[in-house]
């Protein structure tokens, strides 16, 4: 139960509209939020130990609900409690008009990381190393979605010379050859970009040209940061976003505004 509440953003469930509309106004026509309150202490009691910690409570965008910031297993997430305090929701709130996942956006904000914790000396750089905007990617050299993202990354660099991507090798256990490939890429230094592209193209890579523990260090760091999948992008402001993103979405997130 504890884990399922923290990682609610993995689901794409909608909240029942009846729950969000039932408490707009009371029988007197007054806004029910004037009468209903919920504190973090009270929310923790209602959850009954289902989460390790309640960090805060605020009114949710769907009226009639509170969004409750919770924490467990080193990660932060949210659940929703309705104004009657009888019902708990652990799905995603999605804006129908824009298709934006409001829950996911909130959790991403809650889980910002300090990018200075990520050393970049071993990273494969796509773009100019001294670019004004640096986006970090945790990549697996055999990950199919990383291959797709790589093409979009090159589009971004072509459009925006002020953006560079620093690719950290993060091989997943499901790809048994990925670790040796990752080490070969790290050992290649400036030639690592070409080896990464060779791997994405399905070519065999040479054996690692050095002894390095950097890949193991990257795996350890990813665990500490709560990163468990590839590709995962880390934006300059610390927002962590897993999964494939098209070039226009990457720039929209970076610039903080929708692109036409």
* 11-25 per-position pLDDT tens digit: 333 233 333 334 444
CA dist., res. 222 & res. 226, Å (int): 6
Q: Comparing 23 with 28, which gets the higher pLDDT?
A: 28
Task: Determine the pLDDT at residue 24.
Answer: 47
Residue 66: CA atoms inside 13 Å, Cβ hemisphere, count? Answer: 26
Q: Give the predicted TM-score (pTM) of the model.
A: 0.75
Q: How far apart are CA 78 and CA 87, in angstroms?
A: 14
Task: Indicate the SS3 state at residue 10.
Answer: helix
Residue-wise pLDDT for 214-223, tens only, equals 999 999 999 9
Domains, the chain, with CATH or none:
2-110 (no CATH), 115-255 (3.40.30.10)
Comparing C-alpha atoms, which of 24, 6, 20, 10 is closest to residue 87? 20
């Amino acid at each position: 139960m504890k884990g399922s509440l923290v990682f609610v953003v993995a689901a794409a469930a909608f909240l029942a509209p009846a729950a969000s509309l039932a408490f707009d106004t009371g029988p007197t026509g007054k806004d029910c939020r004037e009468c209903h309150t919920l504190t973090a202490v009270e929310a923790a009691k209602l959850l009954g130990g289902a989460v390790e910690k309640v960090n805060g409570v605020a009114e949710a965008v769907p009226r009639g609900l509170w969004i409750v910031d919770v924490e467990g297993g080193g990660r932060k997430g949210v659940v929703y409690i309705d104004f009657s305090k009888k019902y708990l929701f652990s799905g995603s709130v999605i804006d129908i008009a824009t298709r934006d996942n409001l829950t996911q956006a909130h959790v991403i904000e809650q889980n910002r990381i300090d990018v200075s914790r990520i050393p970049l000396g071993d990273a494969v750089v796509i773009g100019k190393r001294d670019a004004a905007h640096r986006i970090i990617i945790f990549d697996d050299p055999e990950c199919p979605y990383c291959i797709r993202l790589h093409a979009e990354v090159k589009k971004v660099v072509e459009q925006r010379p002020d953006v560079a991507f620093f690719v950290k090798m993060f091989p997943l256990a499901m790809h048994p050859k990925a670790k040796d490939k990752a080490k070969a890429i790290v050992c290649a230094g400036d030639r690592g970009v070409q080896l990464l592209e060779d791997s994405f193209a399905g070519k065999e890579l040479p054996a690692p040209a050095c002894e390095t523990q950097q890949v193991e260090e990257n795996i350890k760091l990813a665990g500490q940061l709560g990163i468990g999948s590839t590709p995962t992008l880390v934006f300059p402001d610390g927002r962590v976003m897993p999964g494939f993103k098209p070039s226009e979405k990457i720039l929209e997130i970076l610039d903080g505004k929708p692109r036409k």
